[in-house]
Amino acid sequence: MSQSAAIEKQVKPAFVRRRSNRRREIIDAAIDQFSARGYDGATLKDIAEAIDLTHAALYYYYKSKDVLLFEAVSLILNELLDTLKGCEGAPRAQLKSMMVAQLTYQFEYHRAMPLIDSVLFGAHSRRGVLKDEQSRYLRQCQKDMIGLYHSAVAAGIKSGEFTCKDVRTTVFSIIGILSHAPYWASPVNDKEMNAFVEKQTDICFRLL
């Protein structure tokens, strides 16, 4: 249990707590369903029934389906961003832990990444599912994320650790490699996962 949740349990009345937890449960279910079936493929009924709710009851917590999409993508992006921000050290070490974190996260929220790409730059973005302000916010998260990679790579070039020429191309290539990983690899336990992460990071370092 997170610290804030623990505090919440002490000071807030039960119904507020329940409401707050329910909201989170719904977002988690939305992430699952949107990831598994796509935004248009997943129905509010699917999401609601996954946590034993009727689809009508969802509307008590969130006012529309697109808000659910925004909250879902926002949650994932922010969690990933926070994790990456926590990666420190010399350029090489920092990038290594960023890559490990990114891979781990991608496999945890398994296959949510295509959804995110789609919301940020793909089909859903073109269709205008989200309001401009929401899109702008999510894109900023993504930009911040890319910025972290950018800084690390640039620092490594400056210090002479890395020899790559074009920072932008390099960063997006690394992200391309990492994003594509869940499509073809599916490590089933920690041992396989560790071996896989080692291989992937080795490959990425060849770009630097």
Positions in the binding site for DNA (CB under 7 A) = 15-16, 18-19, 22, 42-45, 52-57, 59-61, 63-66
**In the numeric block, which tokens belong to residue 48?**
């609601």
Alpha carbon distance 74, 56 (integer Å):
23
Residue written as token pair 């050290």: 89
17-46 residues in contact with a copy of itself (CB under 8 A) are 35-41
Alpha carbon distance 86, 97 (integer Å):
9
Binding partner of residue 24 among DNA, a copy of itself, none, CB under 5 to 8 Å per kind?
Answer: none
| Minimum CB–partner distance for residue 60 and DNA (Å) | 3
Task: Select the residue interacting with a copy of itself from 77, 84, 181, 197 (CB under 8 A).
Answer: 181
Binding partner of residue 15 among a copy of itself, DNA, none, CB under 5 to 8 Å per kind?
Answer: DNA
Task: Select the residue interacting with a copy of itself from 28, 49, 117, 144 (CB under 8 A).
Answer: 117
The secondary structure of 13-48, three-state, reads: CHHHHHHHHHHHHHHHHHHHHHHHHCCCCCCHHHHH
Residue 172 near a copy of itself by CB under 8 A:
yes
Q: For the chain, how many residues are written? A: 208
Alpha carbon distance 39, 99 (integer Å):
27
Binding partner of residue 85 among DNA, a copy of itself, none, CB under 5 to 8 Å per kind?
Answer: none
Task: Select the residue interacting with a copy of itself from 2, 4, 133, 184 (CB under 8 A).
Answer: 184
Residue 127 near a copy of itself by CB under 8 A:
yes
Alpha carbon distance 144, 164 (integer Å):
21
Q: How many CA atoms within 13 Å lie on the side-chain side of 97? A: 13
Binding residues for a copy of itself (CB under 8 A):
35-41, 111, 114, 117-118, 121-124, 126-127, 164, 166, 169-170, 172-173, 175-181, 183-185, 199-200, 203-204, 206-207
